[in-house]
């Protein structure tokens, strides 16, 4: 359980906005629910923005009450919907949006999303002075300033369930399965799933390998008596990597099959871990706004919820720890 800071309430708020942006992540609904119910319990009205920054620009928001967030805690996706908005890259659009928010009586905005969403939030406050607060909602777990992000645990468990099933088939047919997991340029999901799933090889952006290195590792594994293997691959920047590797292994005599899990990792009911993480961060978001704090993201470090300046969050990228990658490598041999 994460310890929550005790903050003085130095700012009186009457109405705040709330949006989810970018890729959906399991647990976003838990965060929405926590922000809404915490704010309402303190006499603060909440306007939910439909479809992320696109809805913010267009002024598409709705009043939220306790009933509007009933029975969403256990659901995946986001009840507020999400979108990617190119128009919000324009400073003029951001200025007009801030004016529209103020005109509607909104005093602060909570943004749940990944690095791109948090960048937009930072620019909105930096340029217009409108108060923003971010929550890290992404399955990639690559946000600087937090050890955990909303949705990561669920994505890992979803991928792990698929890998456990593929292991059965790989063993039965003495095959090699290459399983691509999400994560963009981050190896967090791949390394974690690789360790938990007992993969023979884990390939991440931080530790790329070529085809021949993979083939050598499989040959060594076969010499030790293993006739089936699982290779976990982070998606990375090259969408064709897994297919080329699959062709190379088949040409070398292995019965290899490529399996791309894709967006299935984003959906589904969030784990208990993600529900509690999102709930604590959503609750703490209202605390921090009432304490007069803004232009920060709330994250977790060393079992504590704490605020990190958005300027730091968006200027750095959290990398998969070398120790975790080394564990994956050693246990796979």
Direct distance between the N- and C-terminal alpha carbons of the chain, in angstroms, rounded to an integer: 34
- Cα separation, 40 vs 42, in Å, equals 5
Calpha distance 73→275 (Å, rounded): 7
Final residue before a domain boundary, out of 225, 245, 266: 266
Q: Per-residue pLDDT tens for 130-155?
A: 999 999 999 999 999 999 999 999 99
Within a domain: 4: no
Interstrand relation of 176-181 and 45-49 (parallel, antiparallel or unpaired): unpaired
The total of structural domains in the chain comes to: 2
Q: What is the CATH number for 253?
A: 3.40.50.460
Residue 330 belongs to a domain: no
pLDDT digits (tens, 9 = 90+) for 71-110: 999 999 999 999 889 999 999 999 999 999 999 999 999 9
Structure tokens that stand for 158 in this block: 């979803």
User: What pLDDT is stored for residue 185 in this prediction?
Assistant: 80
SS in 3 state form for 60-108?
Answer: CEEEECHHHHCCCCCCCCCCCCCCCCHHHHCHHHHHHHHHHHHHCCCCE
Q: The domain containing residue 74 runs over which residues?
A: 15-151+270-315
C-alpha Rg value of the chain to the nearest Å: 22
Are 29 and 175 in a shared domain?
Answer: no
| pLDDT (0 to 100) of residue 330 | 87
Q: What stretches of the chain show up as alpha helix (H) in DSSP?
A: 28-41, 52-58, 91-103, 115-128, 152-173, 188-197, 211-223, 241-251, 272-290, 310-315, 322-332
Is 214 contained in some domain? yes
Whether 237 shows a pLDDT value over 90: the answer reads: no
Identify the CA nearest to 218 among candidates 196, 242, 236, 199: 199
Co-location of 146 and 182 in the same domain: no
Beta bridge partners of 234: 181
Mark whether 135 and 212 lie in a shared domain.
Answer: no
Do 251 and 105 sit in the same domain of this protein? no
Give the tens place of pLDDT for each residue, 178-224.
999 998 788 999 999 999 999 989 999 888 888 888 998 888 888 78
Average per-residue pLDDT in the chain? 93
Residues 116 and 171 in one domain: no
The mean per-residue pLDDT over the stretch 155-183 comes to 92
Under the banding of pLDDT at 50, 70 and 90, the label for residue 333 is low
With a cut of 90, say whether residue 174 has pLDDT above it. no
- Residues 238, 178 within the same domain: yes
Concerning whether 274 is annotated as a catalytic residue, the answer is: no
Residue of 24, 115, 140, 287 marked active site: 140
Cα 79–Cα 82–Cα 86 angle in degrees, nearest 5: 165
Task: Give me the count of residues in the chain.
Answer: 333
CA–CA gap between residue 18 and residue 127 (Å, rounded) = 19
For the chain, helix, strand, coil in percent to 5 are 45, 20, 35
Q: How many whole angstroms from its chain centre is CA 305?
A: 17
Dump pLDDT digits (tens) for 247-290: 999 999 999 999 999 888 998 999 999 999 999 999 999 999 99
Same domain, 123 and 222: no
Same domain, 134 and 181: no
Residues 260 and 161 in one domain: yes
Instruction: Tell me if 196 is assigned to some domain.
Output: yes
Which position has the token pair 């903050």?
A: 7
């Amino acid at each position: 359980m994460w310890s929550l800071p005790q903050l003085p309430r130095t700012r009186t708020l009457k109405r705040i906005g709330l949006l989810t942006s970018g890729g959906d992540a399991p647990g976003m609904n838990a965060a929405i629910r926590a922000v809404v119910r915490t704010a309402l319990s303190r006499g603060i009205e909440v306007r939910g923005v439909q479809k992320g920054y696109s809805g913010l620009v267009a002024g598409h928001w709705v009043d939220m009450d306790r009933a509007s967030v009933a029975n969403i805690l256990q659901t995946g996706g986001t009840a507020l919907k999400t979108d990617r908005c190119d128009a919000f890259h324009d400073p003029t659009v951001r200025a007009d949006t801030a004016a529209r928010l103020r005109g509607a009586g909104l005093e602060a905005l909570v943004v749940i999303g990944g690095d791109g969403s948090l960048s937009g939030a930072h620019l909105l406050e930096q340029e217009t002075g409108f108060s923003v607060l971010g929550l890290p909602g992404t399955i990639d777990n690559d946000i600087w300033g937090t050890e955990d992000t909303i949705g990561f645990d669920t994505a890992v468990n979803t991928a792990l369930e698929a890998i456990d099933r593929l292991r059965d088939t790989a063993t039965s047919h003495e095959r090699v399965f290459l399983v691509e997991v999400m994560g963009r340029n981050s190896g967090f999901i791949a390394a974690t799933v690789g360790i938990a799933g007992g993969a023979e090889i884990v390939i991440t952006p931080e530790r790329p390998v070529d085809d021949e290195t993979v083939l050598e590792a499989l040959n060594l594994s076969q010499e030790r008596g293993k006739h089936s293997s699982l290779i976990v691959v982070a998606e990375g920047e090259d969408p064709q990597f897994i297919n080329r590797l699959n062709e190379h292994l088949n040409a070398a005599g292995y019965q290899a099959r490529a399996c791309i899990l894709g967006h299935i990792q984003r959906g589904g009911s969030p784990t208990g871990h993600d529900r509690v993480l999102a709930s604590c961060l959503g609750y703490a978001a209202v605390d921090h706004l009432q304490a007069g704090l803004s232009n920060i993201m709330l994250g977790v470090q060393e079992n504590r919820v704490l605020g990190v300046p958005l300027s730091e969050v968006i200027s750095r990228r959290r990398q998969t720890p070398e120790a975790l990658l080394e564990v994956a490598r050693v246990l796979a041999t």
